[in-house]
Amino acid sequence: MRKSVVGVALLVALGACSAQTTGAPSPNAGGQPVVTTDAVQLAALAKSSTAKTSTVKIDATVDAGGQHVTMTGQGKFGGDSAGMAMQMGTAAGSMEIRLVDKAIYLKPPAAAKARLGTDKPWVKVGGSNDAISQLISGGLDQLATQDDPATFLNQIAKGGKVTRTEKTTLDGKPATHYTVDVDTAKAQAELPPQLAGAVAPMTVDLWLDNDNLPLQMTAAAGDKYTAKVHYTDWGGQVDVAAPPADQVADLADLSGH
C-alpha cells in the first residue's frame, strides 16, 4: 500500500523512542551528559534514555510531497503498553488519531464521516482500500504492527555520520546539539516513504538534554522532505486510551466501504 505524508508523520512523531537498549552506554555518567561523535553510540544513548521514561508530549510538523501536516499529542512506548493520541491538521481537514493495543482509531473530518454513513464520531480503521484508508493514503498496517518505531534514531545508527556537536540550550535547558549526515542509501529501510530510492543525503539535527532525552529533532532531504519534532515532559502523565466502544464504528461493518 502506498504510504502517505500522514502515515509518515505518525511514524516521525514516534521516531525518537525505542526499547532496544542492548549494548547502549550509560546515558549520564557522574551527572554529566555523555557526548559522542559516533553515530551508532549516539543513537544508543538516546534509545537507552527514552526506554526508561517511555512517555512524552509531542509537537511536530512534516512537509513532504507538497503536503503539510501538523501534529500535537502524546505517546507512551514500550511493549504491549505502547500507544499514542494525536491531533492532526492536514489538507483533508483536522482529525484525531489514536493508536491503542495495536488498533487504530480515527476521528475523521465531518465530510469524510458523512461519506462513510455513520453518526459515530470514531472509526476503527484497518489497512485496506476503504474510504478512510484512502483518505490518509495508507501507512496504517505499518503503524498497527509496530510497537515502538524508531525512525530517526535507526536512520542515524544505520547510515549516519556525526559532523558537528555543540553545547547549547533549548527550552531553557542545557542541551547537546548533534548534526548528523545520513547516507540514505545505507538507511533505506528506515527512511520515510517519500525518500524510497533516494540517494541524496539527509541531514538530521538532534538536541539531547543532560539525560540524553531528545528535546527536538529536525530532518531535511533537499526539497522532498522536512520534519521538525519537539518533545516535552518526558516521563510525565499521558492519557492514551481507546474511545468508548459505543462511540466507535468498525470500518468493516460500514456497508459499501
142-189 residue pLDDT tens: 433 333 335 677 778 888 889 999 999 999 999 999 999 988 777 777
Cell of 156: 542515524
Residue 15's pLDDT is: 42
Q: Which amino acid is at 81?
A: S
- In the chain the domains, ranked by start, together with CATH numbers, are 5-232 (2.50.20.20)
120-141 residue pLDDT tens: 899 887 544 544 444 444 444 4
Count Cβ atoms within 10 A of the Cβ of residue 78 and give its class: 0-12 exposed, 13-18 middle, 19 or more buried: middle
Q: Which amino acid is at 183?
A: D
Task: Output 176 or 45, whichever has higher pLDDT.
Answer: 176
Residue 89's pLDDT is: 86
Q: Which pTM value belongs to this model?
A: 0.76
Burial track 166-189 (b if 16+ CB lie within 10 A, e otherwise): eeeeeeeeebbbbebbbbbeebbe
Instruction: Average the pLDDT over 29-51 and give the result.
Output: 78
